[in-house]
Protein backbone atom coordinates (compact mmCIF):
# COMPACT_ATOMS: atom_id res chain seq x y z
CA UNK A 1 0.00 0.00 0.00
CA UNK A 2 2.84 2.36 0.93
CA UNK A 3 4.56 1.72 -2.44
CA UNK A 4 1.28 2.42 -4.25
CA UNK A 5 0.87 5.74 -2.40
CA UNK A 6 4.45 6.75 -3.26
CA UNK A 7 3.89 5.79 -6.91
CA UNK A 8 0.65 7.79 -7.04
CA UNK A 9 2.37 10.77 -5.39
CA UNK A 10 5.24 10.66 -7.88
CA UNK A 11 2.80 10.32 -10.79
CA UNK A 12 0.83 13.35 -9.62
CA UNK A 13 4.01 15.35 -9.10
CA UNK A 14 5.41 14.37 -12.51
CA UNK A 15 2.11 15.17 -14.18
CA UNK A 16 1.92 18.56 -12.48
CA UNK A 17 5.55 19.22 -13.37
CA UNK A 18 4.90 18.36 -17.01
CA UNK A 19 2.12 20.94 -17.05
CA UNK A 20 4.39 23.46 -15.33
CA UNK A 21 2.55 23.78 -12.03
CA UNK A 22 4.76 21.81 -9.66
CA UNK A 23 8.07 23.43 -10.51
CA UNK A 24 6.90 27.01 -10.52
CA UNK A 25 3.95 29.25 -10.15
CA UNK A 26 4.24 30.47 -13.71
CA UNK A 27 6.13 27.70 -15.52
CA UNK A 28 4.67 26.17 -18.60
CA UNK A 29 4.90 23.32 -21.02
CA UNK A 30 6.19 23.47 -24.55
CA UNK A 31 2.89 24.69 -25.92
CA UNK A 32 2.78 27.78 -23.71
CA UNK A 33 6.14 29.22 -22.76
CA UNK A 34 5.96 31.55 -19.77
CA UNK A 35 6.68 35.26 -19.89
CA UNK A 36 10.02 36.12 -18.31
CA UNK A 37 10.94 39.63 -17.23
CA UNK A 38 7.88 41.02 -18.99
CA UNK A 39 8.89 39.50 -22.34
CA UNK A 40 7.55 36.59 -24.31
CA UNK A 41 10.02 33.73 -24.60
CA UNK A 42 9.92 31.97 -27.94
CA UNK A 43 10.87 28.30 -28.28
CA UNK A 44 12.11 29.09 -31.80
CA UNK A 45 14.78 31.49 -30.48
CA UNK A 46 18.02 30.51 -28.78
CA UNK A 47 18.95 31.17 -25.15
CA UNK A 48 20.70 34.47 -25.84
CA UNK A 49 18.07 35.86 -28.20
CA UNK A 50 15.37 35.26 -25.60
CA UNK A 51 17.39 36.38 -22.55
CA UNK A 52 18.20 39.80 -24.02
CA UNK A 53 14.48 40.63 -23.96
CA UNK A 54 13.97 39.87 -20.24
CA UNK A 55 14.16 42.99 -18.07
CA UNK A 56 14.86 40.65 -15.13
CA UNK A 57 18.07 39.30 -16.70
CA UNK A 58 20.03 42.38 -17.82
CA UNK A 59 22.87 41.61 -15.38
CA UNK A 60 23.09 38.02 -16.61
CA UNK A 61 23.16 39.16 -20.24
CA UNK A 62 25.89 41.72 -19.47
CA UNK A 63 27.90 39.02 -17.70
CA UNK A 64 27.49 36.56 -20.59
CA UNK A 65 28.75 39.24 -22.99
CA UNK A 66 31.69 40.17 -20.70
CA UNK A 67 32.69 36.49 -20.44
CA UNK A 68 32.48 36.02 -24.25
CA UNK A 69 29.92 33.22 -23.83
CA UNK A 70 27.38 34.56 -26.34
CA UNK A 71 28.64 32.27 -29.11
CA UNK A 72 28.50 29.23 -26.82
CA UNK A 73 24.93 29.92 -25.68
CA UNK A 74 23.83 30.55 -29.27
CA UNK A 75 25.26 27.19 -30.41
CA UNK A 76 22.98 24.18 -30.98
CA UNK A 77 23.48 22.81 -27.46
CA UNK A 78 21.24 21.62 -26.01
CA UNK A 79 21.76 23.36 -22.67
CA UNK A 80 19.87 23.69 -19.43
CA UNK A 81 20.48 27.10 -17.89
CA UNK A 82 19.65 28.01 -14.31
CA UNK A 83 19.30 31.76 -14.95
CA UNK A 84 19.70 34.07 -11.94
CA UNK A 85 17.64 37.26 -11.95
CA UNK A 86 18.97 40.79 -11.49
CA UNK A 87 17.76 40.57 -7.87
CA UNK A 88 19.84 37.41 -7.39
CA UNK A 89 22.97 39.22 -8.59
CA UNK A 90 22.10 42.25 -6.44
CA UNK A 91 21.99 39.99 -3.35
CA UNK A 92 25.70 39.18 -3.74
CA UNK A 93 28.08 41.13 -1.50
CA UNK A 94 28.51 44.76 -2.59
CA UNK A 95 30.94 45.18 -5.47
CA UNK A 96 30.96 41.49 -6.47
CA UNK A 97 29.27 41.95 -9.84
CA UNK A 98 31.36 45.01 -10.75
CA UNK A 99 34.53 43.10 -9.86
CA UNK A 100 33.50 40.04 -11.88
CA UNK A 101 32.72 42.18 -14.94
CA UNK A 102 36.29 43.56 -15.07
CA UNK A 103 38.31 42.17 -18.01
CA UNK A 104 41.00 40.77 -15.72
CA UNK A 105 38.37 38.61 -13.98
CA UNK A 106 36.99 37.06 -17.16
CA UNK A 107 38.14 33.49 -16.25
CA UNK A 108 36.38 33.68 -12.87
CA UNK A 109 33.24 35.16 -14.42
CA UNK A 110 33.21 32.45 -17.08
CA UNK A 111 33.52 29.74 -14.40
CA UNK A 112 30.62 31.23 -12.39
CA UNK A 113 28.40 31.50 -15.47
CA UNK A 114 29.17 28.05 -16.89
CA UNK A 115 28.43 26.66 -13.42
CA UNK A 116 24.80 27.63 -14.14
CA UNK A 117 24.78 25.58 -17.37
CA UNK A 118 24.13 21.84 -17.53
CA UNK A 119 24.77 20.16 -20.88
CA UNK A 120 21.60 18.58 -22.24
CA UNK A 121 17.92 19.47 -22.03
CA UNK A 122 16.70 18.98 -18.44
CA UNK A 123 13.15 20.27 -18.42
CA UNK A 124 10.79 19.79 -15.48
CA UNK A 125 9.85 16.19 -16.21
CA UNK A 126 13.52 15.24 -16.77
CA UNK A 127 14.58 16.95 -13.52
CA UNK A 128 11.78 15.24 -11.60
CA UNK A 129 12.74 11.89 -13.06
CA UNK A 130 16.39 12.42 -12.09
CA UNK A 131 15.42 13.53 -8.56
CA UNK A 132 13.17 10.49 -8.18
CA UNK A 133 15.82 8.11 -9.56
CA UNK A 134 18.34 9.57 -7.10
CA UNK A 135 16.14 8.89 -4.08
CA UNK A 136 15.17 12.53 -3.65
CA UNK A 137 18.17 14.29 -5.15
CA UNK A 138 19.80 14.57 -8.54
CA UNK A 139 23.46 15.39 -9.09
CA UNK A 140 23.85 17.57 -12.18
CA UNK A 141 27.25 17.97 -13.87
CA UNK A 142 27.76 21.57 -15.00
CA UNK A 143 29.57 22.89 -18.06
CA UNK A 144 32.28 24.25 -15.73
CA UNK A 145 32.97 20.74 -14.42
CA UNK A 146 31.27 21.28 -11.06
CA UNK A 147 28.10 19.75 -9.69
CA UNK A 148 24.72 21.05 -8.61
CA UNK A 149 22.27 19.10 -6.48
CA UNK A 150 18.57 19.33 -7.38
CA UNK A 151 15.96 18.42 -4.76
CA UNK A 152 12.33 19.13 -4.01
CA UNK A 153 10.96 21.30 -1.23
CA UNK A 154 7.22 20.90 -1.39
CA UNK A 155 6.35 21.64 -5.00
CA UNK A 156 9.52 23.70 -5.62
CA UNK A 157 12.74 22.52 -7.20
CA UNK A 158 15.74 23.66 -5.19
CA UNK A 159 19.26 23.75 -6.59
CA UNK A 160 22.20 23.61 -4.17
CA UNK A 161 25.67 24.77 -5.17
CA UNK A 162 29.13 23.59 -4.08
CA UNK A 163 29.24 26.17 -1.27
CA UNK A 164 25.92 25.00 0.20
CA UNK A 165 23.90 27.93 -1.16
CA UNK A 166 20.42 27.08 -2.37
CA UNK A 167 18.39 28.65 -5.16
CA UNK A 168 14.74 28.03 -5.91
CA UNK A 169 13.44 27.60 -9.44
CA UNK A 170 10.89 30.42 -9.75
CA UNK A 171 9.99 29.97 -13.41
CA UNK A 172 10.49 26.55 -14.96
CA UNK A 173 10.45 25.15 -18.47
CA UNK A 174 11.27 28.21 -20.54
CA UNK A 175 11.93 26.31 -23.75
CA UNK A 176 14.52 27.55 -26.25
CA UNK A 177 15.59 26.29 -29.66
CA UNK A 178 18.84 25.09 -28.04
CA UNK A 179 17.65 24.01 -24.60
CA UNK A 180 15.63 25.13 -21.63
CA UNK A 181 15.93 27.85 -18.99
CA UNK A 182 14.86 27.61 -15.38
CA UNK A 183 14.86 31.02 -13.68
CA UNK A 184 16.41 30.92 -10.20
CA UNK A 185 16.35 33.40 -7.34
CA UNK A 186 20.03 33.09 -6.28
CA UNK A 187 23.42 33.07 -7.96
CA UNK A 188 24.96 29.60 -7.73
CA UNK A 189 28.65 29.52 -6.77
CA UNK A 190 31.20 26.89 -7.72
CA UNK A 191 33.54 25.43 -5.10
H helix runs in 29-95, sequence order: 47-51, 58-66, 70-74, 86-90
Q: How far apart are CA 29 and CA 59, in angstroms?
A: 26
- pTM, to two decimals: 0.82
pLDDT in tens, 95-124: 999 999 999 999 999 999 999 999 999 999
pLDDT in tens, the chain (191 residues): 333 222 323 332 333 333 333 343 333 334 467 888 888 888 888 888 888 888 989 999 899 999 999 988 888 889 999 999 999 999 999 999 999 999 999 999 999 999 999 999 999 999 999 999 999 999 999 999 999 999 999 999 999 999 999 999 999 999 999 999 999 999 999 98
| CA–CA distance, 73 with 65 (Å, rounded to integer) | 10
Q: How far apart are CA 79 and CA 120, in angstroms?
A: 5
- d(C-alpha 118, C-alpha 134), whole Å: 17
Tell me how far apart the alpha carbons of residues 150 and 154 are, in angstroms, rounded to a whole number. 13
Amino acid sequence: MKKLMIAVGVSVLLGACASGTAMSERGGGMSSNPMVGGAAMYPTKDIVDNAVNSKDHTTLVAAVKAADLVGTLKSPGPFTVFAPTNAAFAALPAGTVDTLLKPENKPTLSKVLTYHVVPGRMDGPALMSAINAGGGKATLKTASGGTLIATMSGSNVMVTDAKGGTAMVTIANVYQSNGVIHVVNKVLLPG
